[in-house]
């Protein structure tokens, strides 16, 4: 299934397209992370969703790859001012992963292998807005860009798209993640230029 | 492809001496920091610093826990040190 998100411009993006305020175009894919790249072995990789009830939903790499996947073409916006147009990904929609999760909590803390965290409202992960991506530009996701699998939430600044995703933990309150505790915005909408708290 | 994170993994505490010195008012390269996570004490100059355009993350050389985070914001430098029991100048 193909998915087109806001700003889709095909394989040859229009350089005159409107960008979020304060952003400039890049053709590269700069690497940003808060620590060294963790060595995540797919044989031991697990993705977990923890509901506030204590219920845990868990997928091995094989189980995860057996889920229905989508091709996604989208622009991505980094808080450090670069925007990359028309990037292509393949991943599993969060709608699929949350299909059997019963929760009344409104917020999620994403946890990565290596210890990184970032907070998001649950409503920003559902309704075709977010994926757990495992391919970039037709290739398995490189570890420096978050492989084997990363969160992809392209309508928010890219620090919200946690690399090396390991788990999603439901939380009643919007507790801040790593960068959010250290001066960055709790939500991070690039169109509203929500860079800092 | 830009590779900022990989290029900067091997930096040490001297990389954040200016920002931390301004925040603490001491010569931090000679200062000693204690890790909350493992109790390791060491001079700041021997910590591991991961620089990215979002900020500098100072990690314990013994256990890799985050000691200090430095973020340059338009309204000033924000230094948080939840992983450091203390910094002694």
How many residues in chain B? 89
B64: closest chain A residue by CA: A35
| pLDDT score for A148 | 97
How many CB atoms sit inside 10 A of residue A168's CB?
Answer: 26
Tell me: the pLDDT tens digits for A28-52?
877 777 777 888 999 999 999 999 9
Q: What are the distances in angstroms from CA A136 to CA A64, A71, A117, A192?
A: 17, 10, 22, 27
- Indicate if the pLDDT at residue A21 is higher than 90: yes
* Eight-class DSSP state of A95: H
Tell me: the pLDDT tens digits for A141-182?
999 999 999 999 999 999 999 999 999 999 999 999 999 999
Interface of B with A (CB under 8 A): 1-6, 9, 50, 52-55, 57, 59, 64, 66, 69, 71, 73-75, 78, 80, 82
- CB distance A183–B9 less than 8 Å? no
Question: Residue ranges of the alpha helices (H) in B1-89?
Answer: 4-8, 17-24
Q: Which fold has domain A2-9+47-192?
A: Sulfite Oxidase; Chain A, domain 2 (3.90.420)
Low-confidence ranges of chain B (pLDDT < 70): 1-10
Of A37, A144, A179, the CB nearest to B54: A179
A29: closest chain B residue by CA: B1
| pLDDT score for B2 | 32
Q: How far from chain centre, in Å, is Cα A154?
A: 7
- What does pLDDT average to over chain A? 92
Looking at the 3D structure of chain B, how many domains does it have?
A: 1
Please, which pLDDT band fits residue A104 given cuts at 50, 70 and 90?
A: very high
Question: Residue ranges of the alpha helices (H) in chain A?
Answer: 61-65, 94-97, 178-181
Task: Name the minimum distance, in Å, from the CA of A39 to any CA of chain B.
Answer: 14
Q: How far apart are CA A168 and CA A119, in angstroms?
A: 9
Please, which pLDDT band fits residue A13 given cuts at 50, 70 and 90?
A: low
| pLDDT score for A9 | 38
- Residue A41's contacts (CB-CB under 8 Å, 6 or more residues apart) are none
| pLDDT score for B26 | 81
For residue B59, what are the domain limits?
Answer: 4-88
Q: Bridge-partner residues for A71, per DSSP?
A: A2, A90
What are the chain B neighbours of A113 within 8 Å (beta carbons)?
A: none
- Closest among A49, A61, A75 to A149, alpha carbons compared: A61
């Amino acid at each position: 299934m193909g998915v087109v998100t806001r700003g889709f411009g095909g394989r040859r993006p229009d350089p005159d397209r409107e960008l979020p305020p304060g952003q400039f175009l890049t053709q590269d894919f700069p690497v940003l992370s808060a620590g060294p790249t963790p060595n995540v072995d797919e044989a031991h990789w697990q993705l977990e969703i923890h509901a506030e009830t204590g219920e845990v939903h868990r997928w091995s790499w094989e189980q995860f790859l057996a889920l229905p996947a989508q091709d996604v073409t989208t622009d991505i916006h980094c808080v450090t001012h670069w925007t990359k147009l028309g990037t292509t990904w393949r991943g599993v929609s969060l709608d699929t992963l949350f299909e059997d999760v019963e929760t009344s909590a409104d917020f999620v803390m994403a946890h990565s292998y290596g210890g990184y965290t970032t907070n998001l409202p649950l409503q920003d992960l559902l309704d075709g807005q977010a994926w757990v991506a495992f391919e970039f530009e037709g290739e398995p996701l490189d570890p420096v860009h978050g492989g084997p699998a990363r969160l992809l939430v392209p309508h928010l600044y890219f620090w919200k798209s946690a690399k090396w995703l390991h788990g999603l933990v439901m939380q009643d309150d919007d507790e801040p993640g790593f960068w959010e505790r250290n001066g960055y915005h709790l939500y991070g909408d690039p169109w509203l230029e929500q860079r800092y708290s | 492809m830009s590779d900022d994170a990989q290029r900067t993994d091997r930096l040490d505490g001297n990389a954040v001496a200016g920002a931390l010195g301004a925040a603490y008012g001491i010569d931090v390269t000679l200062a000693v920091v204690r890790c909350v996570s493992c109790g390791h004490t060491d001079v700041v100059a021997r910590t591991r610093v991961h620089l990215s355009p979002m900020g500098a993350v100072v990690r314990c050389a013994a256990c890799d826990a985050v000691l200090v985070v430095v973020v340059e914001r338009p309204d000033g430098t924000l230094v948080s040190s939840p992983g450091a029991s203390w910094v002694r100048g």
